[in-house]
Amino acid sequence: MIMDLPTYKDVVDASKTILGIAHRTPIQTSRTLDDELGVKVFIKAENFQRSGSFKFRGAFNAVSRCGKSGVLTYSSGNHAQGIALASKLLGVQATIIMPKDAPKSKVAGTLGYGANIVYYDRYAEVRDEVADKVMKTLPEETVFIPPYNHWYVIGGQGTVGKELIESLHSEDIFLDFIFVCVGGGGLISGISLAVEALSPRTIVIGVEPEAGDDAKRSLESGQIVHINTPKTIADGAQTQHLGEMTFEIMKKNVSQIVTVSDQELIDGMRFFGERMKMIVEPTGCLALAGLRKLVKSGHVKRGSKCGVIISGGNCDLSRYCELISSSNPNP
């Protein structure tokens, strides 16, 4: 069966929907990082996005298009905050299903934007089943907007890539690689649509935690692989499988998935904090860790121009300090 999928047109439409609402986040560079790796790195800093992550883009696009009668979703935190803020701005009631162990800052942000939260045990319960039960308690017009496997969510996330590529092209800079974190695949599939249309020679590389390598295994096997909830400090990538839409787009547009350790994520957190003065959550460090790994392996050659997406910066400060001070991270 041929599945209808979002296209670059959906990214363009989303960019119009979020214009003046979502921030056009900065592109950061670091001479220290360039010297370390021998490549030129351009960092799209979505940690400076509204609600603290790229998720606001897809959330606002989706709620504004189909969720004006009430919204239900599930999320470990960043999609939750994005949906909650988008719903607040649009005058919509949002209900969010969140794991009991979600970072406190993400729970506080979600509540602060006015959403209702239903908690579940991510290691013992299936969140789709929890969502089905909760939906039955909500008004009939309520719409479910998942974190990644959704037409308008994918289109919204693709605006990250559109902005990065257009900004660099305006300065005659053309990327050889772009590194993107992978959880359910919404961000990388959306960005890959922009890359396909605007910079087809750019190689799209996904990066996920070693403990949660379902995307890597899925692309290698040609079918969606389901895993148990991975134990990793990258809470934004503790997904169990890709979405059907994201998988189909990734099969076509993503060249490779690499995996990295939690320690490599901590190394990235330290670098961003010490050298670039940015607080970046563990999931937000996946892309940099992947770039470092492929430079070391020789896959990325010296002199390459590389885009790196920081997905978000929502991290409890106490947990952040614990992680950057640790030599043996505990998920």
Does 208 participate in catalysis according to the annotation? yes
Does 214 participate in catalysis according to the annotation? yes
CA 63/CA 302 separation, integer angstroms = 43
- Point out the catalytic residue in the list 10, 46, 214, 235: 214
- Point out the catalytic residue in the list 10, 44, 55, 262: 55
Q: At what angle do helices 262-275 and 317-324 cross, to 10 degrees?
A: 110
- Point out the catalytic residue in the list 208, 213, 264, 281: 208
CA 71/CA 68 separation, integer angstroms = 8
Does 170 participate in catalysis according to the annotation? no
Does 301 participate in catalysis according to the annotation? no
- Give the closest residue to 320 by CA, choosing from 261, 288, 272, 259: 272
Does 255 participate in catalysis according to the annotation? no
- Point out the catalytic residue in the list 76, 199, 218, 304: 76
CA 168/CA 176 separation, integer angstroms = 12
- Point out the catalytic residue in the list 44, 284, 311, 313: 311
CA 7/CA 182 separation, integer angstroms = 19
Does 55 participate in catalysis according to the annotation? yes
Q: Are 96 and 73 in contact (CB under 8 A)?
A: yes
Q: Are 286 and 237 in contact (CB under 8 A)?
A: yes
- Cβ neighbours of residue 326 closer than 8 Å, sequence gap 6 or more: 266
Task: Report strand pairing: 143-144 vs 116-120.
Answer: unpaired
- Point out the catalytic residue in the list 212, 236, 307, 313: 212
Catalytic residues: 55, 76, 208, 212, 214, 311
